Amino acid sequence: MIQASPGSASHAGPASPDPPTLGPVIFNPYDYAFHEDPYPTYRRLREEAPVYHNPDLEFWALSRHADVVAAFRDNTRLSSANGVSLDPSAYGPNAHKVMSFLAMDDPRHMRMRRLVSKGFTPRRVADLEERILELTLRYLEPAVGAREFDWISEFAGKLPMDVISELMGVPESDRNEIRRLADLVVHREEGVLDVPVAAMEASLHLVGYYADMLAERRKKETSDLTSALLAAEIDGDRLTDDEIIGFMFLMVVAGNETTTKLLGNALYWGAHNKSEVAQVLRDPARAPQWVEETLRYDTSSQIVARTAVADIELHDATIPAGGKVLLLIGSANRDSDVFDTADDFRIGRDSSQKIASFGGGVHFCLGAHLARLEANIALEQFARRVADYEIDEDRCERVHSTNVRGFAALPVEVTERHA
């Protein structure tokens, strides 16, 4: 165990060497330099401090694959009741108001999940496949035709928001504003070690919007998920308005943001590994392999929190009861004890049963299938239309967040495929 104070993490580009091993490893999830390339820090944590303690930011962190996976499954000693965020303002007994069942333990969690699943059914998701393809082509074809475009603003930021919005029944005219608010919710300002004011205000606006939307559905039922959640019932038990609003907030922030970042990360690392992505450009049916390797290599959901219910002894350290514990998903997916050549981006490796990107145990991500479906369709259609592409590295802009990793801007230039 190594104690550390917040400071600047090692900064490195895509092909950076290992950082110098002088002094104790420093891990500060708010550090903008850490956001640029967290993986050298993750490696040092796995090797030198598998149970890391930051007394100034008041958290513990687990970085090895075995420990992260075990923690996801240990919902007895590691509680979700305070939420999944490092941010002090978003952590605590009221976290469920915006994180829904992510911030609940059983039996409360299971009750909520079962009721939500009554509306958010596998069939409802499967029925979206044709519509996802239509939306993909609506945005992708003009973007590719222009040859130079921003992958995030013109495509990856639009598709997941449209899919979630259509699922919930958000009118098309409102979607750009909902996306702007969702972006603000996850953004973290440099030097601010908590939720910024702009993010809090955006959260209030979103909650208000969904409250109004729910009131409309009570007056007039529709065929969307929002009405299905109002009608969901098990043995007379129904969801309250606050519970439905919390789930809708979770969907637009977690479901939309993470899929947008997944699509951005896929294109970015494909451009940095041309021989790998060329396999998919030659055979678009291999797009799901591109998705899976992106989920492993640079997952959009990097860090989630838990709360220790009892003292936990691990690796000669003791995490005290009440301690905030960060599960470093991004680090687990790069653990060389589990993945051969873990720091290589290798499309086609079989890691789908090992990646920690969608969590595990009772809190396994309810939207995992939808995220994969969207990404598979999007990247397959991209590969069917593009023979090659380049990223404008100098104009890329990263998202700055304590738990989501990806791009706010990703300018690309494509070479169209001709029949």
pLDDT digits (tens, 9 = 90+) for 317-370: 999 999 999 999 999 999 999 999 999 999 999 887 899 999 999 999 989 999
Mean pLDDT of 164-191: 85
What pLDDT digit, counting tens, does each position of 29-46 carry? 999 999 999 999 999 999
DSSP string computed for 37-64: --HHHHHHHHHH-SEEEETTTTEEEE-S
Give residue 11's pLDDT band: very low, low, confident or very high (50, 70, 90): very low
- In the predicted structure, residue 297 carries a pLDDT above the cut 70: yes
Helix or strand holding residue 307 (H, E)? strand 303-308
- In the predicted structure, residue 2 carries a pLDDT above the cut 60: no
Q: Identify the residue with better confidence: 192 or 125.
A: 125
Parallel/antiparallel/unpaired status of strands 59-62 and 51-54: antiparallel
What pLDDT digit, counting tens, does each position of 409-419 carry? 999 999 999 76
User: How high is the pLDDT of residue 8?
Assistant: 32
Q: Which of 7-21, 190-204, 375-389 has the highest mean pLDDT?
A: 375-389
First to last CA, the chain: 59
The Cβ of residue 108 has, within 10 Å, a number of other Cβ atoms equal to: 13
User: How high is the pLDDT of residue 210?
Assistant: 93
Half-sphere exposure of 122 (CA within 13 A, CB side): 1
Domains with residue ranges and CATH for the chain = 97-301+347-416 (1.10.630.10)
| Strand locations in 77-131 (E) | 78-79
Give residue 5's pLDDT band: very low, low, confident or very high (50, 70, 90): very low
- In the predicted structure, residue 78 carries a pLDDT above the cut 50: yes
- In the predicted structure, residue 191 carries a pLDDT above the cut 90: no
Residue located via tokens 């230039």: 413
User: How high is the pLDDT of residue 1?
Assistant: 37
Q: Which of 77, 17, 95 is nearest to 312 (CA)?
A: 77
Query: In percent, how much of the chain has pLDDT > 70?
Result: 94
What pLDDT digit, counting tens, does each position of 196-217 carry? 788 889 889 998 999 999 999 9
Mean pLDDT of 239-263: 88
What's the predicted TM-score (pTM) here? 0.89
In contact, 164 and 125? CB cutoff 8 Å: no
Instruction: Report the C-alpha gap between 330 and 300 in whole angstroms.
Output: 8
Amino acid at residue number 41: T
Mean pLDDT of the chain: 90
Query: In percent, how much of the chain has pLDDT > 90?
Result: 71
